[in-house]
Amino acid sequence: MMSNTIPEITLNDGLTVPTIGFGTAALMGNDGAHAIKSAIDVGYRLIDSAYNYENEGAVGKAVKLSSVQREKLFITSKLPGRYHTYDKAVPTIQESLYRADLDYYDLYLIHWPNPIQDDYVEAWQALIDAKKWGLVRSIGVCNFLPEHLERLKKETGVLPSINQIELHPFFNQKEQRKWHEKNNVATESWSPIGRANEVLQNEDIQKIADHHNKTVAQIILRWHVQLGAIPIPKSASPQRQLENISIFDFSLNETEMNTINALSRPDGRNKNQDPAVYEEF
Ligand SMILES: NC(=O)c1ccc[n+]([C@@H]2O[C@H](COP(=O)([O-])OP(=O)(O)OC[C@H]3O[C@@H](n4cnc5c(N)ncnc54)[C@H](OP(=O)(O)O)[C@@H]3O)[C@@H](O)[C@H]2O)c1
**Hey, which of 143, 164, 176, 191 would you mutate to test ligand 1's pocket, going by the most ligand atoms within 8 Å of its Cβ?**
191
| Helix boundaries (H) for the chain | 29-42, 56-65, 86-100, 120-132, 146-156, 174-183, 203-212, 216-227, 238-245, 254-261
- What confidence score (pLDDT) does residue 4 get? 62
**Hey, which of 59, 193, 242 would you mutate to test ligand 1's pocket, going by the most ligand atoms within 8 Å of its Cβ?**
193
For residue 186, give the nearest of 45, 15, 55 by alpha carbon: 15
- What confidence score (pLDDT) does residue 92 get? 98
CA 243 to ligand 1 center in whole angstroms = 13
Identify whether the C-beta of residue 278 lies closer than 8 Å to the C-beta of residue 78.
Answer: no
- pLDDT tens by residue, 213-265: 999 999 999 999 999 999 999 999 999 999 999 999 999 999 999 999 999 99
The SS3 assignment for 25 reads coil
- What confidence score (pLDDT) does residue 5 get? 82
- The CB of 25 under 6 Å from ligand 1? The reply is yes
Name the catalytic one among 44, 51, 53, 83.
Answer: 53
pTM, full prediction = 0.98
Q: Round to whole Å and give the CA distance between 84 and 242.
A: 36
- The CB of 193 under 6 Å from ligand 1? The reply is yes
What residues in the chain have per-residue pLDDT under 70? 1-4
Closest residue by Cα to atom 25, ligand 1, is: 196
Q: Round to whole Å and give the CA distance between 33 and 55.
A: 8
**Hey, which of 144, 235, 244, 246 would you mutate to test ligand 1's pocket, going by the most ligand atoms within 8 Å of its Cβ?**
235
Distances (CA, A) of 15 to 239, 244, 254: 30, 24, 30
- What confidence score (pLDDT) does residue 2 get? 46
Closest residue by Cα to atom 1, ligand 1, is: 142
